[in-house]
Amino acid sequence: MQSEFSTLTSRPKKVSIMQPYFFPYLGYFSLIKHTDFFVSFDPVQYIRKGWINRNRMLKPGEGWQYITVPVQAAKRETLIKDILVAEGDAWKGQIMRQIEHYKKRAPYYGQVKELLEQCFAFPELSISRLNTFYLAQICCYVGIPFQHAIFSDMNLELGTIEAPDEWALRITQAIGAATYINPPRGREFFQMDKYAAADVNLQFLEVQLESYNQHRPVFEAGLCILDVLMFNNPEEVRLMLDNMTLNP
């Protein structure tokens, strides 16, 4: 598969680098919307019970439940890029059954069901490629650009990585971007002076995650993007993605 990075006609100005999560939360897509190029970062260890192969949606009645992609058994140190989805499609049917209860209360259930069917028609065993494909489908549905590549496809020459925060710095430099944007929770992870010395502008994007009407007494915050799409049309979602601040 050819990397989209190799076909760029001009270098992006703003880049973001994130692990390829499974139908991630709203803030993840705000990061995509406010950068020019997105890198699915997959050369790191897969964490069991993380967000690479599962996320949260409402369950019938009260509370939330996990939706999950089963993965093949792998050693603890296996990298995300080498994690494979379990054979068979039973998990897809399971997720479709788990969302059926939304039909009674969610105004956009039909559209999201159709979106999921399009996602699940993609025959891919690599969890990295699968999740990145799902990101692209969500972005297309919402109506936001998604210029992207999977890191393991990019064949970048990064030199020696001496500290964890240098991955983002070296990738940003290799892409030719001037700005790297990260979620705010990673602020303490980065050495600001290092980025300044390399003439890379380091910014942090913070989304104001406001509640929306889930048509039930208690709002469940921080669920995956599919829950947001069930209760909000694409225009409303784009407005949510813009409800953010960028800080140095």
What are the tokens at 9? 């006609």
DSSP helix/strand/coil, 33: helix
What tens digit of pLDDT does each residue of 81-97 get? Answer: 999 999 999 999 999 99
Q: What is the DSSP code string of 205-227?
A: EEE-------SSSS---S--HHH
What are the tokens at 189? 């992870």
Q: What count of other Cβ atoms lies within 10 Å of the Cβ of residue 52?
A: 21
Q: What is the DSSP code string of 68-113?
A: E--B----TT-BGGG-BBPSSSHHHHHHHHHTGGGGGT-TTHHHHH
Rounded CA-CA distance 109/112 in Å is 5
- What does the pLDDT read at residue 1? 43
Provide the whole-model pTM. 0.94
What tens digit of pLDDT does each residue of 178-201 get? Answer: 999 999 987 888 999 999 999 999
Question: Does position 23 have pLDDT exceeding 50, yes or no?
Answer: yes
- What does the pLDDT read at residue 10? 67
- What does the pLDDT read at residue 188? 85
- What does the pLDDT read at residue 7? 52
Confidence grade of residue 2 (pLDDT, cut at 50, 70, 90): very low
Q: Which residue type sits at 198? A: A
What is the 8-class DSSP label of residue 126? B
What is the 8-class DSSP label of residue 7? G
What tens digit of pLDDT does each residue of 118-170 get? Answer: 999 999 999 999 999 999 999 999 999 999 999 999 999 998 899 999 999 99
Lowest mean pLDDT among 5-14, 26-35, 148-157, 227-236: 5-14
Strand spans (E) along the chain: 14-18, 37-40, 54-58, 64-68, 148-150, 179-182, 201-207, 244-247
Mean pLDDT of the chain: 94
